[in-house]
Amino acid sequence: MSQTRAVYNFNSVIVRTPSRSVVNGLRADDRGNPTYEGVKAEHDAYIDAMRAAGVEVTVLPALEEFPDSIFVEDPALVFTSGAILLRPGAETRVKETAEITPTLREMFDTVLDLPSPGFADGGDVLTTPKSVMIGLSARTDKAGAEALIGCLDKLGLKGEVVATPKGVLHFKTDCSLLDDENVLSTARLAQSGVFKNFKQIIIPEGEEPAANALRVNDVVMVGSDFPRTIEMLDKLGYKVVPMKTTEIGKIDAGLSCMSLRWFRDAR
């Protein structure tokens, strides 16, 4: 995949203010409801960290009708060359795409619709220097992944379909890109062989949710509940920014879910 800058170099981000209904967000495991105040505080800190990393943040209004709409990464993908409107795999989230479409059409010259049939969530998509990896999961099926590859091709990007470990919600639940050569991965995903072209840094046992870290320019954001992962990355020379994710973690979310990130060229 040809590029002139690292895929984790961003100057633009879209986020959405959490709704009060966020306490009713989807979850695979019931770890109790988050509080609205807790989610809002974590989201506010996330915005602050993005701005501190040198990114301009566009904050969209809350959508009370959609409890999971804080997770803007699932209904769309964004790149310097354009945006792709996705079809989320959870029925209650399908209409979120229409809500974010006007913003993307305003910000991007090229906005593509995911062809039917099939569905795909942005949480299953990891952009690397070599390809855009699309993990099959309960939220992204084969038809959706193949349709997405066609859209990526139109944007000059190479897509590839990979497997998500059984029982894992999203591909990026278990991994994140640290730099051009290294990925952060759970042991279960690393064993699948999908990262054969990368050096794999394995999450310490018991801290698997820390795998959903987020590289933004010079920093790596990591959930603050995972001290061994933070210490490991710090010793490896990464500039780690601990981020509280206790409340959003109760609704199966991590750091990448809460933003759409890209490098916006001057028009």
Write out the DSSP string of 96-111: HHHHHHHHHHHH-S-E
Is 124 part of any known ligand binding site?
no
Is 189 part of any known ligand binding site?
no
Alpha carbon distance 137, 123 (integer Å)? 10
CATH superfamily of 12-262: L-arginine/glycine Amidinotransferase; Chain A (3.75.10.10)
Is 251 part of any known ligand binding site?
yes
- Judge whether 170 counts as a catalytic residue: yes
- Cα end-to-end distance, the chain, whole Å: 23
Specify whether the CB–CB gap between 240 and 222 falls below 8 A: yes
3-state secondary structure of 166: coil
Per-residue pLDDT of the chain (267 residues; tens, 9 = 90+): 444 699 999 999 999 999 999 999 998 777 789 999 999 999 999 999 999 999 999 999 999 999 999 999 999 999 999 999 999 999 999 999 999 999 999 999 999 999 999 999 999 999 999 999 999 999 999 999 999 999 999 999 999 999 998 888 899 999 999 999 999 999 999 999 999 999 999 999 999 999 999 999 999 999 999 999 999 999 999 999 999 999 999 998 899 999 999 999 976
Q: Which of 92, 9, 90 is nearest to 54 (CA)?
A: 9
The region that residue 142 occupies, defined by phi over 0 for left and psi between -120 and 50 for alpha, beta otherwise, is alpha
- Judge whether 43 counts as a catalytic residue: no
